[in-house]
Every structure is written in structure tokens, then in C-alpha cells.
Amino acid sequence: MTSELPEWFQRVFSMPRFTPYLDVSGRNVTRAWQLYRWNVEVSEAFYGPLHCLEIGLRNAEHDQLHSRYGRADWWEVAPLRKHDACKIAKAQDDLRRRSGGSCTADDVLTELSFGFWVSLLSQAYDRHFWVPALHRAFPHYSGRRGELRDNLQAMVLLRNRIMHHEPIHHRHLAADHAKIYRLLGYLEPEVAPWLRRFDRVPEILARRPKGDHGDGQA
């Protein structure tokens, strides 16, 4: 079964990594090979939309919390949960270790993960963050906080799979793509037409390899 694969592929990428692609391709090496390459391409294409969503969310939330607490390093006085405060401390420690000195609020801001910003929409922060400030970060959203948080968390999971080079072909990627645009619209609708000019996801979704057994609905 492995004889049809180039020797370098087996050596560089490994058969254990390739096996899940074989499993959803009916053990057909050619189809699995095509699906593997397509998974790389579609993962690359999602980088742009996810980039816009992560950066947009980060800046929108930061602006509101900066305003609420009257300082750029609002995390120094905000009532963060221990888990989130530890993320701030780690970001500061990493920055100081790399620079050999102090770090600015902007430095910390860019060090924090997508997941950190989504965690600020948790129910635990309703009273301190969502009600007085963070709902304003989404001026075009009128739904429930919990639903918004769940949709953003789904995008964190997608982003993490892509960044860790995991399969995403089994997901309902067209729905994921639409969700990113919907979430961006809650932040700033004018981002969408700009992003669509260079967004390659629709093109790559349209040429998904035929014959794999994944239903793309996960």
C-alpha cells in the first residue's frame, strides 16, 4: 500500500500521519495523496480570514477595556480569573526574556492568543466586562453573549488545528468560512468586501478532491 508513495514523503511526513487520509479515501493512495495536499492548501487559504478575525477581535476588545479602565495595561487592574492572569504574566515574562528588559502594553497585547480574547467573553466576566464594555466591541451584534462566545471558540479550535498542521478536511469548511465572515460583520462590516478580494477559500473548496469518504460536516 505504501509503495505508490514517494520515498521522501514517507520519510518526511511519516506513514502514521498519512494513515488518517488513507482511512477516509478507501485506502486508495492516490486519493489520499490528493486529499493531503488539498488539506495543506485549504489550511493555508484560511489563514487570511482567520488573521482578520483574530486581529479584529483583539483590537476591538482591547479598545473597550482600555476605555473602561482608563489605561492601556488594563489587565493590571481588571478582575481577571487566575487562568487568564497567568496568561498575562507568561506573556510579560516571555517578552522580558527575549528583550532583556521591560515590555510595553502594546507588546503584551500582541503576545496574547486568540483563545485569551475569546475567554474574556465567558460568563464569569459578564458583570465586569461584557455588560459595561465588551458588548460595544460588537456594534453589529444583537444576540446572546454565550452564542457569540461559542462561535468564536469554534474558530479558535479551527485556527489551532491549522497552526498545528492537523487535518481539517472533515469539517464543514464552507460553514466555517461563512461563520468567519459573520463574526467579522459583528465587528466591522466593511472588512468583508476588502477581504473577499484576495480570499482564496471559495476557490479551493470548489476543487476538493473527489472520492474521499469525509462528509465535510463535522
Nine-digit cell string for 165 = 498542521
From residue 61, alpha-carbon distances to 34, 50, 118, 154 in Å are 40, 16, 9, 18
Q: In the predicted model, what is the mean pLDDT of residues 176-203?
A: 98
Distance CA 199, CA 189 (A): 16
> Which of residues 156 and 216 earns the better pLDDT score?
156
| Residue range(s) defining the domain that contains residue 32 | 2-206
Enumerate the H helices of 70-171 as residue ranges.
82-99, 105-111, 114-119, 145-163
Angle among Cα 52, 17, 169 to the nearest 5 degrees reads 45
User: Residue with C-alpha cell 469525509?
Assistant: 214
Q: By percentage, how much of the chain surpasses pLDDT 90?
A: 82
Residue 214 lies in a domain: no
Query: In this structure, what are the phi and psi dihedrals at residue 76, rounded to the nearest 5 degrees?
Result: -75, -20
Residue 89 lies in a domain: yes
Give yes or no for residue 215 having a pLDDT over 50: no
Q: Tell me what pLDDT residue 99 has.
A: 85
Distance CA 4, CA 176 (A): 33
Question: What's the predicted TM-score (pTM) here?
Answer: 0.91
Structural domain count of the chain? 1
pLDDT in tens, 34-64: 999 999 999 999 999 999 999 999 999 999 9
From residue 212, alpha-carbon distances to 6, 24, 173 in Å are 20, 6, 15
CB 108 within 8 A of CB 95: yes
Nine-digit cell string for 104 = 510595553
The single-letter code of the amino acid at 201 is V
Residue 216 lies in a domain: no
Helix (H), strand (E) at residue 23: helix 15-23
pLDDT in tens, 73-130: 999 999 999 999 999 999 999 999 998 888 999 999 999 999 999 999 999 999 999 9
Nine-digit cell string for 204 = 479551493
Q: What share of the chain is helix, strand, coil (3-state, %, to 5)?
A: 70, 0, 30
